[in-house]
Copies of this chain bind each other. A is one copy, B any other.
Amino acid sequence: MSESKKTEASLVIGSHSFTSRLIVGTGKYDTFDTMRDCLEISGAEVITVAVRRDRLIDSEGRNILDYIDLKRYTILPNTAGCFNADDAVRVARLGREILEGLENPGADWVKLEVLGDKKTLLPDPLATLQATEKLVAEGFQVLVYTTDDPMTARRLQEAGASSVMPAGSPIGSGQGILNPNNIRICLEYLKEHDSSYPVIVDAGVGTASDVCFAMELGVDGVLLNTGIAGAADPRKMARAMKLACQSGRDAAGAGRIPRKLYATASSPEIGQIKLG
């Protein structure tokens, strides 16, 4: 396969390359069995894990990493639960250390999440930028969670982020992509100088059509957790999400038909007869 075809087919983030464009989390599952099944069914090659001690170790003292096949998956350590830049940087280093110890290829990257409010779980833009700069300086490949604000996205890219990951809507809200306009401008900004720069929608996805629609907008991947873990039948939703991601990717590349008021009309709002 030629280099360009490989790029077309693969999700390339920094030094990593994957076939699947769906990244899934490990939180909120009822049991480790359900979690393991869902990870597998989702087809994900990248699993994001919160590495703060209070998240990594459950109430019975079990380490979530013991329940994931580390030979199979690339772990993407994340800084969930961090509400300032220093804390996030510390947790990122901890993740690197843990994954180096486990010889997982995910030791060199991090999903940076610096939140501003426990109630809404919205990101803190300034603290996120500061932590990005610091972690990039320390050699991390930073995949940074942010709002859908295009200007903030541009600043994070300029700060050296390997991928910018705008939220579709607030974490766990299930609202899908609330502002496609902003995602489109994010894509225009972030891919301005390099169309292969990876943009990933992270958070807010509630169901399969949200994933499909996100991919159709032209993003490179989707990261989600609650949408699967919180479904009544997580395994079935894991499969739905996998197919939706593939479907949306295909549709994005297939060149859809235009929207019209009706097939022979000139636009979605104008038909063939001018109103008086």
A204 → B minimal CB distance (Å): 10
Q: Mark A257-274, 1 if CB is under 8 A from B, else 0.
A: 111111111001101110
A255 pairs with B233, CB closer than 8 A: yes
Question: Is A250's beta carbon under 8 Å from chain B?
Answer: yes
Which among B185, B246, B254 is the interface contact of A232 at CB below 8 angstroms? B254
Q: How far is the CB of A206 from chain B (nearest CB, A)?
A: 5
Q: Is the interface of A mostly helix, strand, loop or mixed?
A: loop
Interface residues of A in 211-268 (CB under 8 A from B): 212-213, 216, 218, 226-227, 230-234, 236-237, 239-244, 246-251, 253-265, 268
Q: How large is the interface on A (under 10, 10 to 19, 20 to 34, 35 or more residues)?
A: 35 or more
Complex CA gap A212/B264 in Å reads 25
Q: Kindly state the separation between the CA atoms of A276 and B218 in the bound complex, as whole angstroms.
A: 9
CB pair B263 A237 closer than 8 Å = no
Residues of B within 8 A of A191 (CB): 273, 275-276
Instruction: Find out whether the CB atom of A172 lies under 8 angstroms from the CB atom of B120.
Output: no
A residues sitting closer than 8 Å to B (CB atoms) are 116-117, 119-126, 129, 147, 149-152, 154-155, 169-175, 178-179, 181-182, 184-185, 187-188, 191-192, 195-196, 206-209, 212-213, 216, 218, 226-227, 230-234, 236-237, 239-244, 246-251, 253-265, 268-269, 271-273, 275-276
